Amino acid sequence: MVLFVVSAYLLIASLHHLLIPEGPRFAKLTLFFHHATPFWLVPVVLQIFCCLYVWQRFRGESVLRGELIQALQERNDEMTKFQDILESAPMRISIQSPSFKILYQNPAHARVIGNRAGEQCYAAYSGENEVCEGCPLEKTFVDGEVHTLNKRNVINGEERYLELISAPLKKADGTIVAGIEVVQDTTERMRHESHIQQLTERLEESNRELRAFSSALAHDLRQPLTRIYMAAQVLDEQCPKDNLGAIAMINDVLHGCVQMEELVDGMLTLSRVEHA
């Protein structure tokens, strides 16, 4: 600023010297410029440098301002995309403060719970006076990690099974400012799993009964089968060799006994099979 004032003063003095050489004002300056005429260019040069400096500063600030605007626009675009994802997600998503106050609910969450923003989550969701037992969000606020909880809850008078997943929302320095909670209704999945479990138990019971029956039947068949086989061997030894018809029938009996013995062994093996 001082340089600008001095330069302006010298410029005016120079112009005064050129236009009114014998004027009463600026006497000393005009005397100086009369004996050193080239020096009147100094303020002009200084003015040019000042203008260049100001222009350079202005240009740099304009570039920085443009980069800042672009960065803010990109940030706003990312926030808009994130907001769109939250709004359109089929899962129930909410954001709570470290004091467990509800800060945000996406439409899917609000449709089920209602608009409860500003309330304490444990009171709004579960009707409790304090943080729910095993709350994953409480653990997230403590250690900053992702936590999961499966729980049973009553919503609008209906028993529902829920899977809760919580994650921290942090500032750049790592400070946790809020927690996001995703709730998935797993009632249908739990019902299917329960039905499958029931069918599995019934199948296991049937297998146990089948193994017991196979064991009992195998033991019941083995004793008379042994007697039949021994009797057929005696008949084979005593039968005349020229009685081909009788020998053929005895061989059929012996062959049938061997096949029955294999069947009995298979049934005993089945009865000893352990359930994996």
Q: Which amino acid is at 37?
A: T
Residue with the two structure tokens 């100001």: 54
Tokens of 180: 């996001």
What's the CA angle centered on 19, arms 14 and 22, to 5 degrees?
90
Task: Classify domain 192-272 at the CATH class level.
Answer: mainly alpha
Sequence-separated (6 or more) residues with CB below 8 Å from residue 231: none
- What's the confidence (pLDDT) of residue 102? 93
- What's the confidence (pLDDT) of residue 26? 45
Residues in a beta bridge with 158:
155
Phi and psi at residue 84, to the nearest 5°: -65, -40
Q: Residue 161 region, left (φ>0) first, then alpha (ψ -120 to 50), else beta?
A: beta
Cβ atoms of 162 and 184 closer than 8 Å: yes
Cβ count within 10 A of residue 81? 10
pLDDT tens for 197-220 read: 999 999 888 888 887 877 787 777
- What's the confidence (pLDDT) of residue 101? 94
Taking domain 89-185, whether its CATH number is 3.30.450.20 is answered by: yes
Sequence-separated (6 or more) residues with CB below 8 Å from residue 98: 141, 176, 177, 178, 179
Burial profile 114-141: b = 16 or more Cβ within 10 angstroms, e = fewer = eebeeebbbebbbeeeeebeebbbbbbb
- What's the confidence (pLDDT) of residue 98? 93
- What's the confidence (pLDDT) of residue 31? 46
- What's the confidence (pLDDT) of residue 14? 55
pLDDT tens for 138-188 read: 999 999 999 999 888 776 677 788 899 999 999 888 899 999 999 888 888
- What's the confidence (pLDDT) of residue 30? 47
Phi and psi at residue 42, to the nearest 5°: -55, -50
Cα–Cα distance, 189 to 32 (Å, whole number)? 99
- pLDDT beneath 50: ranges in the chain: 23-37, 39, 275-276
HSE toward the beta carbon, residue 92, CA cutoff 13 A: 15
